[in-house]
């Protein structure tokens, strides 16, 4: 997933700021990968989201232009075998010598929807972190089809952000303990 945000700075300048987050799946997107006896098929769509320009005084948080669907198919798990999907950023949003704390990006969640879990599974809201991996989805046993956690991203909007093209990588990992 790529996260793009543009904001006009204060005063009359027309410069635009962009913030990019690239999500990297530990399992190749859309292709199965195996951890122990479990096979995970992870799909993330769309591959990019954006945030519109907004005045931080009147719009303190900016919603992304699209939700992000995280779908996971699990097979080969025992009826008691737990699994989870985590996300962790490699650092803050960076543009040259400027940075914006990655913790300014967060998400709410709905789901799971679509497919079903043979045992209970859950989706979690959170804040992107460069320090600790954040659980975005977990459950026990196999899934039927591919249940989907739908994430709605927001960015805390602030006048002090320096104008620039910001980017960062977030790695998404599916594991079973």
Q: What percentage of the chain reaches a pLDDT higher than 90?
A: 47
Average pLDDT over residues 133-139: 95
Break the chain into its structural domains and give their ranges.
2-175
User: Coil, strand or helix: which one is 102?
Assistant: helix
Model confidence pLDDT, tens digit, residues 76-86: 998 899 999 99
Backbone dihedral angles phi then psi of residue 104, each to the nearest 5 degrees: -80, -5
State in Å, rounded, how far the first CA of the chain is from the last one: 26
Cα distances from 104 to residues 24, 43, 62, 78, 147, in angstroms, run 19, 25, 11, 38, 28
Model confidence pLDDT, tens digit, residues 84-131: 999 999 999 888 999 999 999 999 999 999 888 888 899 999 999 999
Computed over every residue of the chain, the mean pLDDT equals 80
């Amino acid at each position: 997933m790529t996260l793009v945000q543009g904001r006009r700075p204060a005063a009359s300048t027309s410069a635009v700021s962009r913030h990019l987050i690239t999500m990297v799946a530990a399992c190749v997107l859309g292709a199965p990968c195996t951890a122990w006896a479990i096979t995970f098929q992870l799909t993330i769509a769309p591959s990019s989201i954006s945030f519109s320009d907004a005045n931080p005084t009147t719009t303190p948080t900016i919603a992304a232009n699209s939700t992000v669907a995280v779908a996971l198919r699990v097979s080969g798990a025992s009826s008691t075998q737990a699994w989870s999907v985590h996300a962790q950023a490699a650092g803050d949003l960076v543009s040259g010598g400027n940075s914006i704390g990655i913790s300014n990006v967060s998400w709410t969640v709905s789901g799971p929807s679509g497919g079903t879990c043979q045992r209970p599974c859950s989706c979690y809201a959170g804040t992107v972190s460069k320090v600790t991996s954040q659980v975005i989805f977990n459950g026990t046993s196999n899934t039927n089809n591919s249940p989907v956690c739908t994430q709605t991203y927001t960015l805390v909007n602030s006048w002090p952000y320096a104008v620039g093209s910001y980017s960062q990588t977030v790695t998404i990992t599916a594991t079973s303990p």
